[in-house]
Structure 1
Amino acid sequence: MNISSIDNSLQNDDSSILINRFIDIYSQLNSGNLHLLDDVYSDSIVFSDPLHKLESLERVKSYMAHMYQNINNYSITINDAMVANDQAYLQWSMQFSHSRLNKGKLISFDGVSRLIFDQKITHHQDYYDLGAMLYEHLPLIGKVIKFTKAKAGQ
């Protein structure tokens, strides 16, 4: 999916071209084509999410290679995007399965990425509910977390 299919008001400037390329790459990314990240990430990329903070393109690619070895049925869908002032915000939905989580069944959750760029992306920060991605699907502790969330929502 590209930005123009999300928001027709975005111009076809360098920023939008970069973010469209990022979206295209992430829609097809797997362990065999991590070299595609070279097109959009700077060599000194800082990538962070609730579990990691990685500094350098090589560390990001190494992390992703390891991730792809441990998950199945991975997909990410970009639902919305906004680009302004050398930053982009992408709202996405992710699905994956892991043999040790949720009895191997599909896990789905939503998140947002903040991208900062110059000519390439220099910072990539992912925001998502770590409970929805991981903790709720762990044996034993998952039931406690789901129960606690249900009680807190009453």
Structure 2
Amino acid sequence: MTSQHIQRVIDQFEKLSPNSIDALVALYSKDAFFKDPFNEVKGHANIRHIFTHMFTQVNNPHFVIKNTLENGSHACLIWEFIFQLKKSPEINQVIRGCTWMTFNEEALITEHRDYWDAAEELYEKIPVLGGLMRWLKKRARE
């Protein structure tokens, strides 16, 4: 894997829009595996659905790639996902995480695994659920 291939992936993620989802999905092998805290799917149609669904769930979603690590056919992208909740579009929300990717000989993504803490990065930001999550976290530390 070359830095040029990784940069192509970064560029697609950072400029992702409803109109560019197909260009992003084209970077995946046809039978690519995708996993995040909410999804575990395989194949172009399912991966396309995840990114399409993202644009219906939140306002102005976008990724900022903060750093990358590369090792042969693997790469790790450290990112911030910035968006606004539908009920409070004036407030930017940020989820911090990383993606581990494996590439094949054609430089297509065969595995995409997102790692981020759904409790801290998402649930704690939801009004009623957030209070419960913070209380649970406090109790766990006692």
1 or 2, which has the higher strand percentage? Answer: 2
**What's the TM-score once normalised by structure 2's chain length?**
0.87
Of the three residues 119, 122, 125, the one matched with 1:134 is 122
Identity, in percent, stands at 26
Which consecutive unaligned segments of at least 5 residues does structure 2 have?
none
Cα displacement string for residues 24-49 of structure 1 (whole angstroms, at most 9, x for unaligned residues): 00010111111112441111111100
**What's the TM-score once normalised by structure 1's chain length?**
0.81
Q: Which runs of 4+ in 1 moved over 4 A?
A: 150-154
Asked whether the 8 Å contact 2:25–2:48 carries over to 1, the reply is: no
Asked whether the 8 Å contact 1:71–1:97 carries over to 2, the reply is: yes
Distance 2:115 2:128 in 1: 25
Which consecutive unaligned segments of at least 5 residues does structure 1 have?
1-13
Specify the code of the residue in structure 1 equivalent to 2:102: I
Write the mapping of 1:36-115 to structure 2, written as runs, cut at 5 A.
Answer: 36-100=23-87, 103-104=88-89, 105-115=91-101
- Root-mean-square deviation (CA, aligned residues, Å) is 1.8
Distance 2:33 2:19 in 1: 22
Q: How many residues align?
A: 139
Asked whether the 8 Å contact 1:18–1:40 carries over to 2, the reply is: no
